[in-house]
Structure 1
Amino acid sequence: MIDYYNNKFPNISDLQTKARKKIPKFAYDYLVGGCIDEISVKKNIRDIENVELRSEFLKPTKSSSIEVDLFGKKYSAPFGVAPIGLQGLMWPKAPEILAKAAKEKNIPYILSTVSSASLEKIAEISEGNAWFQLYNPSKEDIRIDLLRRIKEAEYPVLVVTVDVPTFGYRPRDIKNGLSMPPKMSPTNIFQMIKSPNWLYNMSKSGKPELKTLLPYMPEGMSSNELADFMNKTVMGSVDLDGLKPIRDMWQGPLVIKGLINQRDVQKAIELGADGVIISNHGGRQLDVGESPIKPLKNISEKYGNQIKIMMDSGLRSGSNIASALALGAEFTFLGRSFVYGVSALGEKGAYHTINLLKTQLEQVMAQLGCENIHNLRQHLVEI
């Protein structure tokens, strides 16, 4: 299965179309939805598609390499699986499937705090290849205990998300009355019945729950109570004062996710962070902000020699990954694309999506005449 590739789905858009047909509408809406009018979701895609790269043909070239060294480990490609909450809602056992495929294909998988798999389970599956994404708990005892569990599970990299000071105003989820587990409204029940493959697999795997957070959650929470719990307990302050205790307790590589301006990157460096992920949370939090591809080049040029610069949000192809690397990112992450793959093709979809992106990126590199991902900056068409 490690080399699985399905010719019927040569692009991420093909996987998205198939996924939409296979999973309930409320699950699909949660995956694709953005904030308010979803302008930022569209802007992310549009802006990365506008980046141009220039080929160079009449020179001696060797075969292209897309391997990359990051935090002391060599990965087989310059992209990984971004953290997505409630992955098991879109497809049963999605976190376990993606973590296993990422381990076997040697790319990082980032487990979300609000995933449907426990951090201990993913650590076991990934055998040290997964990173952990943390929302800073406002309760000190929960933060200390979570960091203890993450350390004991031997996660190599901690990613702290800082761009969720509020719950994103997402009209799709509001209309669907989304909760965890899914609310049993007549509409949602009808949507489940229309997705028999999803329903069958869900019945085998059991209802999705926030497995990592279960030890800290009262039983039988309603959707309103869950939102209140998340707001008051799980998502604490993420300014410098909120991050300092985490930096003090975590001795491994620390990555700050969700930054998009130079001042914040400078503060992350002062904090002692080892990397940043330039991101706007996939357009799910702020509908009037800039896409991360816009400030990426300037941030990289100013701070690239002081901290690892990575990026997510809006990437959907090997071409997009090449463009982000050309603008100065050292690594990239994709979220929705991988969940489309699993939702469309099940376990095989995880391998297919990784192989698809690697094949596309390798083709772009060869076409440009670029032997190494670090040389992609030389192929950027300046605008």
Structure 2
Amino acid sequence: MSKKPIFKYNSRYPSVEDLKKKAKKRIPKFAFDYLQGGCNEELNLFRNENDFDNILLKPQYLRVGQEIDMSVELFGRKYSAPFGISPIGLQGLMWPNAPEILAKAAAKHDIPYTLSTVSTSSIERIADVSDGKAWFQLYHPTEDRLRDDILRRLKAVECPVLVVLVDVPSFGLRYREIKSGLSMPPKMNIENILQAMVCPTWGIQTLKYGIPSFATLKPYMEKGLDLSQLGQFMNRTFTGKVNMEKVKAIRDIWQGPLVLKGIATEEDMEASIQLGVDGVIISNHGGRQVDAGESSIVSLTKLAANPSYKSKVKIMMDGGIRSGVDLARAYAVGSEFNFMGRPFMYGVGALGEDGGEHSINMFKAHLYQVMQQLTVDNIYQLQDRLIK
């Protein structure tokens, strides 16, 4: 039997919770609240994590196992591990240069990194540092002209996968962001400035990389916008519901793999299949949109149980995963690939430039150990370990 691979990561931070505690000390409170918070009373935020506890797995200790293979093929590409990095807006606010740190680490380890339309690095820059491997998540603009130009730029850099976000007909009511001034229009108040002053490393790195901005959207903004005007621009540019007609228009233009993110119901799953998309990401936007909704893992469990869905579209998930055990649970109930957002941002906030690689290796080590313990050789066997 071959030797167990070595996944190198900082042993002082072996879990997401360890990274989260460290990151909280290094990131100003207003930025950490933006990262950590959910909508309304944040009930669905906690539901996303806690509902994983109801999924139980069984080992088969006397089975003769083979060499463990964590790789997975997705849309014609082979990835080294069955997880990727979710899109997150304003990443550079939470930790300076975070999009590039994570995109580089993902490319090195051959897992997908997804850039958000409202992140703080541009399409072109992330394509460059990721060797063209990064995915892109589109916040659908209100104007077709802007949509078409973004798609043109994605084609120019040969973006491998386009993800269209469908679960933001309006921005969620997030009390933490309202209090901190990070709702639209954003503002820096005295309290936020004082919070930044007690996080010197964050401040130094911000001076090094510059004040974060919506880099992908810069070509479409008038020069010299102040914060109130920026808020008006964002509301004017992205206030609008994504419907089947809008997705169909993108499907007609975009010839590569097309994924819809934010699917949570049978009705939307059936509509997605009708539109001919290649994949869906079951997600509730990290508990940031509908507080009365169900967790992503519960939605996944219901939708993945339908064999007719799985035969027509790749079913993936995002939301609440905090360990290799959670990854195994998600695959056991039917996910074909999983994404995580906050855990990777905790990693970068805690460890800076080393945070991306640390977090990837940490999750690989977690998942490998779980697979060893359950005696499975690949992620597809995890469904046989579900206690129903």
Same fold? TM cut 0.5 = yes
Aligned partners of 2:339 and 2:193: how far apart in 1?
33
Structure 2 counterpart of 1:71, from 51, 75, 86: 75
1:143 corresponds to which residue?
Answer: 147
The structure 1 residue matched to 2:134, chosen from 126, 130, 137, is: 130
TM-superposition CA deviations, 1:108-163 (whole Å, max 9, x none): 00000001000000001111211000011110110111110011011010000000
1:354 to 2:360 alignment: yes
Residue 108 of structure 1 is matched in structure 2 by 112
Letter in 1 for 2:122: S
Q: 1:182 to 1:163 in 2, by over 3 A?
A: closer
Comparing 176-185 with 337-346, greater Cα deviation is found at 176-185
Q: Does 1:11 align with 2:24?
A: no
Q: What does residue 3 of structure 2 align with?
A: none
CA distance in 2, matches of 1:374, 1:179: 42
From 205, 211, 223, the equivalent of 1:219 is: 223
- CA distance, structure 2, for counterparts of residue 68 and residue 97 of structure 1: 23
Q: Is the 8 A contact 1:297 1:327 kept in 2?
A: yes
Moved more, 183-192 or 119-128: 183-192
Partner of 1:97: 101
Letter in 1 for 2:361: N
Which of residues 205, 230, 245 is equivalent to 1:201? Answer: 205
Give the CA deviation at 1:40.
0.6
Partner of 1:368: 374
Shift of residue 218, structure 1, vs aligned partner: 2.5
Alignment of 1:240-319 (within 5 A): 240-302=244-306, 303-319=309-325
Question: 2-side partners of 1:134 and 1:343: how far apart?
Answer: 25
Alignment of 1:140-179 (within 5 A): 140-178=144-182
| Structure 2 counterpart of 1:341 | 347
Of 43, 47, 58, the residue aligned with 1:54 is: 58
Are the structure 2 counterparts of residues 263 and 182 from structure 1 closer, same or farther at C-alpha, using a change threshold of 3 Å? closer
* Among 297, 320, 326, the residue aligned to 2:332: 326
1:241 counterpart letter in structure 2: E
Report the TM-score, using the length of structure 1 for normalisation: 0.97
Contact 1:135–1:236 (CA under 8 A) maintained in structure 2: no
Structure 2: gaps spanning 5 or more residues = 1-5
2:321 partner amino acid: L
Unaligned runs of 5+ in 1: none
The equivalent position to 2:47 in structure 1, one of 38, 43, 48, is 43
Distance across 2 between alignment mates of 1:372 and 1:51: 19
Code of the residue aligned with 2:380 in structure 1: it is H
Q: Deviation string for 1:196-230 (max 9, x for gaps)?
A: 00000100100000000011123344544434322
In 1, Cα distance between equivalents of 2:230 and 2:157: 26
- 1-side partners of 2:54 and 2:323: how far apart? 13
The superposition leaves residues 299-339 of structure 1 with CA deviations (integer Å, 9 ceiling, x where unpaired) of 12321111000000111111111111111000000000000
Rounded Cα–Cα distance in structure 2 between residues aligned with 1:167 and 1:375: 39
**Counterpart for residue 29 of structure 2:** 25
Q: Distance in 1 between matches of 2:261 and 2:188?
A: 34
SS at match of 1:84: coil
TM-score by length of 2: 0.95
Could you say what secondary structure the match of 1:310 adopts? strand
CA contact (8 A) 1:179 1:223 kept: no
Q: Note the alpha carbon deviations across 1:14-38, whole angstroms, 9 max, x for none.
A: 0000000001000000000000000
Contact 1:133 1:159 in 2 (8 A): yes
SS at structure 1 position matched to 2:223:
coil
* Native 8 Å contact 1:180 1:209 kept in 2: no
In structure 1, how many angstroms separate the alpha carbons of the residues matched to 2:61 and 2:322?
26
Contact between 2:347 and 2:359, CA under 8 Å: does it hold in 1? yes
In structure 2, give the amino acid aligned to 1:257.
Answer: K
SS in structure 1 at match of 2:305: helix
The farther-off stretch of 3-12 and 205-214 is: 3-12
- Is contact 2:328–2:370 with CA below 8 Å preserved after alignment? yes
Residue 386 of structure 2 aligns with an amino acid whose one-letter code is L
Local SS of the residue matching 1:347: helix
RMSD across aligned positions (CA):
1.5
In structure 2, what is the Cα distance between the partners aligned to 1:3 and 1:129? 22
Look up the SS of the partner of 1:340 in the other structure.
helix
Aligned-partner residue type, residue 372 of structure 2: A
Task: Call closer, same or farther: CA 1:78–1:141 in 2, change over 3 Å.
Answer: same
1:231-261: CA deviation from partner (whole Å, max 9, x where unpaired): 3313433110111111111000000000101
Further displaced range: 363-372 or 56-65: 56-65
Does structure 2 conserve the Cα–Cα contact (< 8 Å) formed by 1:48 and 1:323?
Answer: yes
